[in-house]
Amino acid sequence: MRILVVEDEKRLADALTQIMREQRYTVDTVYDGEDGYQYARSGEYDAVILDVMLPKRNGFDIVRALRRDKVATPVLMLTARDELESKINGLDCGADDYMTKPFAPEELTARIRALTRRQGEVFLEEMAFEDIVLELANSDLRCGAKRIRLSYKEFEVMKLLMLSQNAIVPKEQLIVKVWGPESEAEDNNVEAYISFLRKKLFFIGSKVGIQTIRKLGYRLGSEAEA
Amino acid sequence: MRILVVEDEKRLADALTQIMREQRYTVDTVYDGEDGYQYARSGEYDAVILDVMLPKRNGFDIVRALRRDKVATPVLMLTARDELESKINGLDCGADDYMTKPFAPEELTARIRALTRRQGEVFLEEMAFEDIVLELANSDLRCGAKRIRLSYKEFEVMKLLMLSQNAIVPKEQLIVKVWGPESEAEDNNVEAYISFLRKKLFFIGSKVGIQTIRKLGYRLGSEAEA
DNA sequence: CGCGATGCTGAAAACTTGCTGAAATGGGTT
DNA sequence: AACCCATTTCAGCAAGTTTTCAGCATCGCG
Q: What is the mean pLDDT of residues A118-132?
A: 65
Q: CA of B209 to nearest chain A CA: how many angstroms apart?
A: 16
Kindly state whether B72 is in contact with chain A, defined as any CB-CB distance less than 8 angstroms: yes
Model pLDDT for residues A30-55, shown as the tens digit of each residue: 888 888 998 888 777 889 999 988 88
Does the pLDDT at position B166 exceed 70?
yes
User: Which of the four pLDDT bands, split at 50, 70 and 90, describes residue B93?
Assistant: low
Percent of all residues in chain B with a pLDDT value above 90, rounded to a whole number = 28
* Residue A29 clears pLDDT 70, i.e. is over it: yes
Residue A92 confidence (pLDDT): 62
DSSP string, A142-176: EETTEEEEPPHHHHHHHHHHHHTTTS-B-HHHHII
pLDDT at A174: 93
* Angle separating helix axes A84-93 and B105-118, nearest 10 degrees: 20
- Whole-angstrom CA distances from B134 to A71, A122, B221 are 20, 27, 15
| 3-state secondary structure string across B89-139 | HHHHHCCCEEEECCCCHHHHHHHHHHHHHHCCCCCCCEEEECCEEEECCCC
Tell whether the torsion through CA atoms of A196, A199, A201 and A203 is positive or negative: negative
Whether residues A117 and B104 touch (CB distance < 8 A) is answered with no
How many Cα atoms occupy the beta-carbon half-sphere of B189 within 13 Å?
16
Is A166 within 8 Å of chain B by CB? no
Residue A121 forms contact with B (CB below 8 Å): no
Closest CA to B148 of B188, B116, B196: B196
pLDDT score for B121: 44
Contact assessment for residue A52 and residue A77, using Cβ atoms and an 8 Å cutoff:
yes
Q: Whole-angstrom Cα distance, residue A39 to residue A23? A: 21
Tens-digit pLDDT profile for residues B15-67: 888 888 767 677 888 999 998 998 888 777 889 999 988 888 888 889 888 87
Within 10 angstroms of residue B63's Cβ, the number of other Cβ atoms is: 27
pTM: 0.57
What pLDDT was estimated at residue B122?
Answer: 43
Average pLDDT of the residues of chain B: 82
Smallest CA–C1' separation from A211, nucleotide: C7
CB atoms within 10 A of CB B5: 28
Average pLDDT estimate for B64-87: 73
Pairwise CB contact (< 8 Å): B110 & A87: yes
Q: Identify the band that residue A137 occupies on the pLDDT scale cut at 50, 70 and 90.
A: confident
Distance B85 CA to D18 C1' (A): 53
Least confident of A86-90, A153-157, B76-80, B213-217: A86-90
DSSP letters, B31-65, are -SHHHHHHHHHT---SEEEEESS-SSS-HHHHHHH
Does B226 contact A at CB distance below 8 Å?
A: no
Distances B27 to A116, B8, B21, B178 between C-alpha atoms, Å:
28, 15, 6, 21
* pLDDT above 80 for A189: yes
Chain B residue numbers touching A145 (CB-CB < 8 A): none
Nucleotide in closest CA–C1' contact with B184 = D8
Report how far Cα A44 is from the mean position of its chain's Cα atoms.
10
Average pLDDT in chain A:
82
The yes-or-no verdict on residue A202 having pLDDT over 70 is yes
Mean pLDDT along residues B59-79: 83
Where residue A115 falls among pLDDT bands split at 50, 70, 90?
Answer: confident
- Has residue B139 got a pLDDT over 60? yes
Q: Is A101 within 8 Å of A79 (Cβ atoms)? A: yes
State how far the alpha carbon of A203 is from the alpha carbons of A126, A142, B30, B134, in Å: 20, 10, 60, 39
Task: Name which of B92, B104, B113 is nearest A92 (Cβ-Cβ).
Answer: B113
More confident residue, B123 or B208: B208
Inter-chain residue contact A138 with B216, CB threshold 8 Å? yes
Which residues have a Cβ under 8 Å from the Cβ of B119 and sit 6 or more positions away? Answer: B46, B74
Asked whether the beta carbons of B67 and B54 are under 8 A apart, the reply is no
- pLDDT for position B88: 58
Cβ pair B168:A138 closer than 8 A: yes
A188-195's contacts with Cβ under 8 Å and 24+ in sequence apart are A190/A157, A193/A153, A193/A154, A193/A157, A194/A157, A194/A218
CB-nearest to B91 from A84, A91, A114 is: A114
Q: Quick check: B118 pLDDT over 70? A: no
Closest CA to A75 of A106, A120, A109, A40: A40
Nearest to B83 by CA among A49, A104, A117, A100: A104
A97 forms bridges with which residues in the sheet?
Answer: A76
pLDDT-derived band at B82 (thresholds 50, 70, 90) equals: low
pLDDT of amino acid B172: 85
Mean pLDDT value across residues A125-150: 88
Region B125-147: mean pLDDT is: 87
pLDDT value of residue A166 = 83
CA distance, residue A130 to nearest chain B CA (Å): 25
